[in-house]
Amino acid sequence: MASLITCPHCGVRPKEEFAIRGDASLVRPAPSASDEAWHDYVYVRANPRGRTVEHWHHVAGCRRFLVVERDTVTHEVYSVVDAAAAVRGAER
Amino acid sequence: MRYSAFSIVRNALSGNLNWRPQWRQPQPKSHYDVIIVGGGGHGLATAYYLAKEFGVKNVAVLEKGYLGSGNVGRNTTIVRSNYMLPGNEPFYEFSMKLWEGLEQDLNYNVMLSQRGVIMLYHSDGQRDAYVRRGNAMWMEGVSAELIEREQLKKMIPFLNYDHARYPILGGLLQRRAGTARHDAVAWGYARGADQHGVDIIEHCEVTGIRRENGVVTGVETSRGFIGCGKLALAAAGNSSRVGEMADLKLPLESHVLQAFVTEGLKPCIDHVIVYGGGHFYISQSDKGGLVFGAEIDGYSSYAQRGNLATAEHVMEEGVSMIPGLSRVRVLRAWGGVMDMSMDGSPIIDRTSIDNLYLNCGWCYGGFKATPASGYCFAHLIARNDTHPVARALRLDRFARGYAVDEAGAGPQPNLH
């Protein structure tokens, strides 16, 4: 269930400690990108049924942004990683 | 069969053996002029108005479950038109006026009860905001009343007026607003549409949208292929999934909203009361149960059930506003999947595909909009022209920079 989130820094914490920012799969376009690219980034969402990745901000804990991978139907949480670490991982 | 006092007497005298089902269970035909995906309130209302007001009678409504199994049977039954923005208020007032004539129009008792909706304020700043909203309503010709604390105490004596953090200073009242029996709305529209020749096909899930040369030719369903001249999507929380079948990219996120009902009580809450310290709303059903809810859980979800922490938060809000609630036992809780849009307002529009029409983004305000949504969507489908009160609710408003953001929360669906 999405009621408990295992923060990589703080351990198992109730979801009430987090603020949910939304879809973590989006990549911010370059400032000079087209209006359409910015429109899609700001407004359009894949809204998957099943596995999804979201940015959760651990507001009442370490205050780090996390990437939570979970299921939108079963509410099962698959993984929680620090957002900065996720970016570094993607760059490698 | 037309319902009347006479029909009750006549059927009683014949042992109540001659009542007919309220709608047929037809086999799908091979082709319809219009197929509506989604047999909820909006889809059924659309079919009803298409047939009755716009003369399009070769229509099918496809519903993957049983009729009314989605949000139309899961909401807290509130109908109101106390919006602020000029893009919203005329639309919801159009809906309110349709509600006021709906029972006669449908020949069906939807138990509309104009008991008044009052939104409480707890600070001077919030009072100012509600004065502004009330004035905005008056500018669209909708009556609103500011009820000050002393007057409110006489009207609703059991509120927690002297709460230390959220003292109740008054409220904004729309007297014409109230509640309606949600299931009866679905059944009434279904019966009305059926009488005008619409085929309502339950347990028929759309699994694909077939296109040729850039136009929709029909839908693949769990009961085979069905051809259509025009396809209209009214799939609420599953709009992104159905839209995906036609490569639509939608500004939606699906979220879960919970609702609750208590054991039956004697009449005690006469109005719909909305808490200003959070977003808690409560009314009493005609059966006696207190029906209430608050915000969405906050994480995107397709599950029709929510989280206990949110349930606890909702109860805390309720008890904070009405301490007497603490002794009442909750009977049931359930969840619905909300199609949260990026500005908190709905979308009724054509799409990039010529004969594909879209109705979605109702967030958690879809029930009150049911009649206007159906009427405006039917208008759009029949005439290829947006109804005047739905002009602000176009799909391209985000790209054009004309978002209708009632909450002022920005493109963050879980904050609307």
Read off the pLDDT of residues B304-356 as tens digits, 9 standing for 90 and up.
999 999 999 999 999 999 999 999 999 999 999 999 999 999 999 999 999 99
Please identify which residue in the block is written with the tokens 């879960």: B256
Q: Is the pLDDT of residue B18 over 80?
A: yes
Partners of B412 on chain A (C-beta within 8 Å) are 21-22
Nearest-10 Cα torsion for B267, B268, B273, B277: -150
Of residues A47, A48, A87, the one with CA closest to residue A67: A87
Q: Categorize the per-residue pLDDT at B132 as very low, low, confident or very high, splitting at 50, 70 and 90.
A: very high
Q: Is the pLDDT of residue B25 over 70?
A: yes
Instruction: For residue B269, give every residue at least 6 positions away whose Cβ sits within 8 Å of its Cβ, in sequence order, or none.
Output: B282, B283, B284, B290
Alpha carbons B334 and B152: distance in angstroms, whole number: 32
Which ipTM score applies to this complex? Answer: 0.94
Closest approach of B232 to chain A, Cα-based (Å): 20
Q: What is the mean pLDDT of residues B75-94?
A: 97
Tell me if chain B has a CB within 8 Å of the CB of A1.
Answer: yes
Question: Measured between CB atoms, which of A3, A39, A73 is closest to B307?
Answer: A3
Q: Do B240 and A47 touch (CB under 8 A)?
A: yes
Of residues B37, B41, B52, the one with CA closest to residue B379: B52
Alpha carbons A39 and A60: distance in angstroms, whole number: 32
Q: Which superfamily does CATH assign the domain made up of A4-91 to?
A: Folate-binding superfamily (3.30.2270.10)
Q: Do A74 and B240 touch (CB under 8 A)?
A: no
Alpha carbons B66 and B289: distance in angstroms, whole number: 25
H-run or E-run covering B120: strand B117-121
Q: What is the mean pLDDT of residues B168-196?
A: 98
Contact B253, B340 (CB under 8 A): yes
DSSP reduced 3-state for B37 = strand
Nearest-10 Cα torsion for A35, B246, B92, B105: 160
Partners of A21 on chain B (C-beta within 8 Å) are 412
Strands A77-82 and A65-71, by their bridges, are antiparallel
DSSP string, A9-75: TTEEEEGGG-EEEEESS--PPPTTS-HHHHHHHHH-----SSEEEEEEE-TTTT--EEEEEEETTT-
Per-residue model confidence (pLDDT) at position A2: 62
Q: Do A75 and B301 touch (CB under 8 A)?
A: yes
Tell me if chain B has a CB within 8 Å of the CB of A83.
Answer: no
Q: Is the pLDDT of residue A90 over 90?
A: no
Q: How far is CA B333 from CA A73, B209, B340, in A?
A: 18, 35, 21
Q: What is the mean pLDDT of residues B234-263?
A: 97
Q: Do A22 and B251 touch (CB under 8 A)?
A: no
Residues β-bridged to residue A54? A23, A68
Per-residue model confidence (pLDDT) at position B223: 96
Q: Is the pLDDT of residue B3 over 80?
A: yes
Strands B224-233 and B31-37, by their bridges, are parallel
Alpha carbons A28 and A32: distance in angstroms, whole number: 11
Under an 8 Å CB criterion, which residues of B touch A? 238, 240-241, 249-254, 298-303, 307-309, 342, 398-399, 411-414
Q: Is the pLDDT of residue A14 over 60?
A: yes
Alpha carbons B149 and B155: distance in angstroms, whole number: 10
Q: Is the pLDDT of residue A1 over 90?
A: no
Q: Is the pLDDT of residue B380 over 70?
A: yes
Alpha carbons B328 and B331: distance in angstroms, whole number: 9
DSSP string, B302-351: --S---HHHHHHHHHHHHHH-GGGGGPPEEEEEEEEEEEESSS--EEEE-
Alpha carbons B106 and B124: distance in angstroms, whole number: 44
Interface of A with B in 5-24 (CB under 8 A): 14-16, 20-23
Q: What is the mean pLDDT of residues B147-159?
A: 97
Q: Do B249 and A23 touch (CB under 8 A)?
A: no
Which amino acid type is present at position A90? A
Please identify which residue in the block is written with the tokens 């939304």: A22
Per-residue model confidence (pLDDT) at position A87: 84
Q: Is the pLDDT of residue A3 over 90?
A: no
Contact B111, B77 (CB under 8 A): no
Please work out, in degrees rounded to the nearest 5, the angle formed at the alpha carbon of residue B411 by the alpha carbons of B407 and B415.
50
Partners of B308 on chain A (C-beta within 8 Å) are 3
Per-residue model confidence (pLDDT) at position B80: 98
Q: How many CB atoms neighbour CB A76 within 10 A?
A: 12
Q: What is the mean pLDDT of residues B65-86?
A: 96
Question: Measured between CB atoms, which of B249, B302, B412 is closest to A72?
Answer: B302
Q: Is the pLDDT of residue B114 over 90?
A: yes
Contact B339, B360 (CB under 8 A): yes
CA atoms in the 13 A half-sphere facing the CB of B158: 12
Q: Give the model confidence (pLDDT) of A38-89 as tens digits.
A: 999 999 999 999 999 999 999 999 999 999 999 999 999 999 999 998 888 7
Question: Measured between CB atoms, which of A23, A43, A72 is closest to B398?
Answer: A43
Per-residue model confidence (pLDDT) at position A92: 64
Please work out, in degrees rounded to the nearest 5, the angle formed at the alpha carbon of residue B403 by the alpha carbons of B383 and B72.
65
Per-residue model confidence (pLDDT) at position B272: 98
Residues β-bridged to residue B227? B31, B218
Q: What percentage of chain B exceeds 90 in pLDDT?
A: 98
Partners of B240 on chain A (C-beta within 8 Å) are 45-47, 49
Q: Do B250 and A47 touch (CB under 8 A)?
A: yes
Tell me if chain B has a CB within 8 Å of the CB of A60.
Answer: no
